[in-house]
Structure 1
Amino acid sequence: MTTTDLHRLTGAYALHALSDAENTAFERHLTGCEACAQETAELSETAARMGLAVAAAPPAGLREQVLHRITAVRQESPGEPGPSRAVRSGPRARTLSRWALAACLAAATALGGTALWQHQRAEDARAQARRATQVTDEIAAVLAAPDARTRAAGLTGGATGTVVVSRDRDRAVFVVSGMTRPPGGKVYQLWFDEGGAMRPAGLMDPARSDQAVLLRGAVDGASGMGITVEPDGGSKEPTSAPLAVMTFPG
């Protein structure tokens, strides 16, 4: 493995994606390469922030609720007979049977609608999970790209932001920590800076102070990125002065 090859392993090392042999060789290389050591530290910090940004804690008390329900629900033995009831006959019994049939049909219709709604909700959840997984995979691919380069900067309110760019993949990721919530009805919007002209690059989640965002679209000829406060839903072009403008790493 050449020195050039080792220089290109910073992202894969930060994501623990190297083989044992590559890992050993790269760690030896780090002891004598200050540039790779610094870049590896920045990528490792970015990967950690990304993990925090997508992590979700289970609801409080979920474990206790599940255990309580397990102990409270009685399982009926197979073949166990239910309570005996006298068999009725005659006109009243037939009337009751018609009412019972109507009730069963109504219940079946309602349950069918509920089942359809639940199925649609499940399909929507699966589609959302697939999209989230795809975005996470794309973010990881940018961070692990051999040519990935990072640049960090301080933002307003004490927040810190790091942009990671892979020219080979033509994509960029913005990782932010400690971002304050935008004003009501507003959202933080990201932009590609193309010689002073701003191209929309996606929205940040206004409810999260720590997050990793895959900038929408190709890096292409952009020299940097900007952040503005926009009306909820975003804008086609900036309507406020940038909170920050970051030049992409070379």
Structure 2
Amino acid sequence: MAALMNKVAIVTGASSGIGRAAALLFAREGARVLVAARREEPLQALVEEIASAGGQAVAMAGDVSDEAVARELVARACAQFGGLDVAFNNAGILGEMAAAPDLPLSAWEATLRTNLTSAFLAAKFQLPALAARGGGSLIFTSSFVGHTVGFPGMSAYAASKSGLIGLTQCLASEWGAQGIRVNALLPGGTDTPMGRHVANTPEAMAQVQGLHALRRLAHPDEVARSALYLASDASRFTTGTALLVDGGVSIHRG
């Protein structure tokens, strides 16, 4: 049986990269999916691709750091599909990169609002909906950056992604008795638009690949499969974790 048969899932940051791969995979595994991102056109293309493969999906464009959008995502999932079982809060940005003395406060705040505050807002509305279904899975996309590795110029990104792990742990403790599992997914370098922005020359790409024990970047579908594990009953005794899916970048020193 498909891993998410008859489940309802929200996937944010679904217009490209890991979010898009996860939405496609969740739909193939039987979930009815509400996909969200800022850009309407790629979302509609994704919905059409899911439908052409026999799945069910609807799209909602909006800024996940807007509380009204976070509320409406859950309301629409419940109205369209009858409830919520899985939430994969994957939307995020790299943000401006600079040494701390050179980083404008506005850039710091924008990164934390998009990566961390949006996760709080998502959980604020998703948790009651998950509880109403008797439990479910809430997943955040964090990063190995700020958890096992630090890079110069990435203080805002690292702080926002590290903060997601603390949020994960507290929510897992608060909501475990209601059958809700809360976990953070920590990808390594992944072949996404964000990843290619960081490694934007052949030399930079070779350097980033070499940081990983596997000597390559992940394909978005590989990370999506780990999200599927956390979304499904295969991880039914897993909560409060920071799951590294990083190709060994956290342990490689060669």
Q: Pick 1 or 2: higher relative contact order, CA cutoff 8 A, min separation 6.
A: 2
- Please state which band the TM-score falls in when normalised by the shorter chain: under 0.3
The TM-score normalised by the length of structure 2 is 0.23
The TM-score normalised by the length of structure 1 is 0.23
Higher helix share: 2
